[in-house]
Amino acid sequence: MAAERAGGGGRARKVVPKSDHDFVTGTSYAPAPESSDHVKLAKNYDLFIGGKWVKAGKRMKTVNPATEKVLAEVGEAGAKEVDLAVKAARKAHDSVWGKMPGRERGKYLFRVARLLQERAREFAIIESMDGGKPIRESRDVDLPLVAAHFFYHAGWADKLEYAFPGRKPRPLGVAGQIIPWNFPLLMAAWKLAPALACGNTVVLKPAETTPLTALKLAGLFEEAEFPDGVVNIVTGGGATGQALVEHPGLDKIAFTGSTAVGKMIQRSLAKSGKRHTLELGGKAAHLIFEDAPINQAVEGIVNGIFFNQGHVCCAGSRLLVQEGVAEEVIRKLKRRMETLVVGDPLDKNTDIGAINSQEQLGRITKLVACGTEEGARCWQSGQQLPGRGYWFKPTLFTDCAQSHRVVQEEIFGPVLAIQTFRTTEEGIEKANNTPYGLSGGVWTDKGSKIFKVAGAMRAGVLWANTYNKFDPTSPFGGYKESGVGREGGVHGLGGYLELQE
C-alpha cells in the first residue's frame, strides 16, 4: 500500500497510512513475541565433565543470529579437557552405569524426560534465541520430540534382550557424539537417549554456534542426579571435535553433520577399531504426480523445504513435478510462499526465522548466485527482511538442469530447485541421480504408485503424501553419501550395543 503519493501540480499530498497491522489492509500481523523474561541464561558456561563444571583454557562467544547480539560465552575444550571428559566417562561406565540394571537406568531417563517436559517452554525459547528457528517449531516440534526420544528409549532400557532375541546385548562403553546446529537439542536427544539406555556413557560435543540448550540439558542431568561422568558435555569448534574423534579411549563415534566432515571422520577412524554411525547430508527428491492432492502437496512442499529455514538434512530440496501439473504447482507454491511470515524467531507467527550463522548465510548466498549464473531461473517471495541479523528470502529455482549445482549440492537453506518429469520412470531416475540418499517424498492419490515409487527410490527415509514427519520409533539414516547406520527405533539401539551370541 503506497503511504505517500505525490499529487498533481507539484503539491505533495500526504495520505495517512493505515496501520501496517490492520487486519484487512496490513501487510503483517501485530507482533506476538514469546516472552523471554523468565529464561535464565548465565553470562558464562563451563564444560560439564565428571558431574562438575570445569573451566576451559579458552572461551568462545555464542550469538543470537536474529540480532547478532552475544548471548553468552562458553568454554572451548582443548585436547586436555576432552581427555578429562573421556576418562570421566570411562570411569562412570566401568564403575556404575555399565553395570547398572536396565530398569534402574530407565528410571534416570524417565526422570530427564519429565524434567524436559516441565521445562519445555524455557528450552524452546533458548533454542530459538541461540539457533534462529521459529518458536512455533521449537515449541511444537523440537521439544515434544526431544521428550519423546527420552521416554521411548527409557522404555527400552530394561527390554534390550527382547529387542534382539537370542542375543546378549552389552553396552559398547564410551561413545563420543558430535551434533550439528540445525536441531541442537533434538540431535542431543537422538544421540544421548539410545546411548544411555543401552548402558553407554557419553562425551557430547554440541555445535559451535548452538551450545546453549545442550549446556542447559547438562543442568537437567544434574537435577536428575545422574551418576557423575555418565554424560559429559564439551563445547567447542572443529578442533574440539577432532580431538574427540581421535581420542583413543572411545569405543564409538556418532556424528551428524556435513558429508565433507563425515568423510574426514571415517578416514581418521579407519583401523582404530571404533564403531561409528554417520548421519550426513542430503538432497532429497520430492515427487509430485499429476494425480496428487495438489493443494495439500503444495503445503507438503513448503513443509519439506522451508521447515527450519531449510536447515534440515532430509529437506525436500529437489522438487520433481510431473509435467501436466507443473505450472499449477509452481503458481500455487509462489502464492503460498508470499504468505510465509519471515522474521523474529520468537514471534509466535513467524514461519521462517533467521539463518543460523553468518557463515551459513554466505554459503547459501554463494550457491544461489551460482544457480542464476548457470542459467536456472530464480524467484524469491516479496517479504521484507529485518535489518539486523542473518536472513534469507524463501527462494525457488525453475528451469533447472540435472547438472546445475543447485540441483546437485546440498544448500542447507530455504532454497528449492524445481524440475519436471514426464513418466514415472523418468521421475525415479532423476530422483536417484545424486550421490546422496537420505530421504525422499512422493505425492499421489494412488496407493499402488506410492509403493512402486517408494520401493524404487534409493533413500533411507521415504514420506508418502506428507513430509518431514519424525518419530522416535522410526529408524532414520541414509544410503550412499548420506551416511552409515540408523538412528531411532530398534535399528538405532543396535548402534549402541555389542550383540553377543
Q: Which is nearer to other proteins, 19 or 448 (CB)?
A: 19
| Binding range to other proteins, per CB under 8 A, among 14-22, 52-60, 160-168, 491-499 | 14-22
Residue 377 binds other proteins (CB under 8 A)? no
Distance CA(233)–CA(235), nearest Å, equals 6
Residue 279 is among the residues annotated as catalytic for this protein: yes
Residue 144 binds other proteins (CB under 8 A)? no
Q: Which is nearer to other proteins, 140 or 373 (CB)?
A: 140
Residue 118 binds other proteins (CB under 8 A)? no
Residue 145 binds other proteins (CB under 8 A)? no
Q: Which residues contact 71 (CB under 8 A, 6 or more apart)?
A: 41, 62, 63, 64, 129, 130, 212
Taking alpha carbons only, the member of 180, 89, 170, 213 closest to residue 487 is 180
The grid coordinates of residue 336 equal: 503460498
Taking alpha carbons only, the member of 98, 180, 253, 168 closest to residue 410 is 180
SS3 231: strand
Q: Which is nearer to other proteins, 250 or 442 (CB)?
A: 442
Distance CA(28)–CA(18), nearest Å, equals 12
Could you say which of 87, 105, 136, 449 contacts other proteins (CB under 8 A)?
136
Residue 17 binds other proteins (CB under 8 A)? no
Residue 313 is among the residues annotated as catalytic for this protein: yes
Residue 327 binds other proteins (CB under 8 A)? no
Could you say which of 59, 334, 348, 363 contacts other proteins (CB under 8 A)?
348
Distance CA(57)–CA(203), nearest Å, equals 18
Could you say which of 140, 323, 359, 429 contacts other proteins (CB under 8 A)?
140
Residue 2 binds other proteins (CB under 8 A)? no
Could you say which of 3, 7, 15, 30 contacts other proteins (CB under 8 A)?
30
Q: Which is nearer to other proteins, 88 or 321 (CB)?
A: 321
Distance CA(230)–CA(40), nearest Å, equals 25
Could you say which of 122, 228, 246, 299 contacts other proteins (CB under 8 A)?
299
Taking alpha carbons only, the member of 392, 348, 355 closest to residue 140 is 348
Could you say which of 295, 372, 384, 423 contacts other proteins (CB under 8 A)?
295
SS3 47: strand
Mark 255-289 as b/e (b = at least 16 C-beta within 10 Å).
bbbebebbebbbeebeeeebbbbbbbbbbbbbbbb
Give how many residues touch other proteins by CB under 8 A: 29
The residue from 313, 314, 481, 487 that is catalytic is 313
Question: Minimum distance between the CB of residue 28 and other proteins, rounded to whole angstroms?
Answer: 8
Q: Determine contact, residues 307/350, Cβ cutoff 8 Å.
A: no
Taking alpha carbons only, the member of 399, 401, 393 closest to residue 352 is 393
Residue 323 binds other proteins (CB under 8 A)? no
Could you say which of 11, 23, 166, 500 contacts other proteins (CB under 8 A)?
23
Binding positions for other proteins, 405-464, rule CB under 8 A: 445
Could you say which of 31, 57, 362, 447 contacts other proteins (CB under 8 A)?
31
- Per the listing, cell 509435467 goes with 323
| Binding range to other proteins, per CB under 8 A, among 72-80, 194-202, 285-293, 484-492 | 285-293
CA dihedral 242, 245, 246, 248 (to 10 degrees): 150
Residue 121 binds other proteins (CB under 8 A)? no
At residue 37, what is the residue type?
A: D
SS3 192: helix
Could you say which of 7, 15, 17, 22 contacts other proteins (CB under 8 A)?
22
Residues known to be catalytic:
279, 313
The residues that touch other proteins, with contacts defined as CB under 8 A, are 19, 21-26, 29-32, 136, 140, 291-297, 299-300, 331, 339, 348-349, 445, 465-466
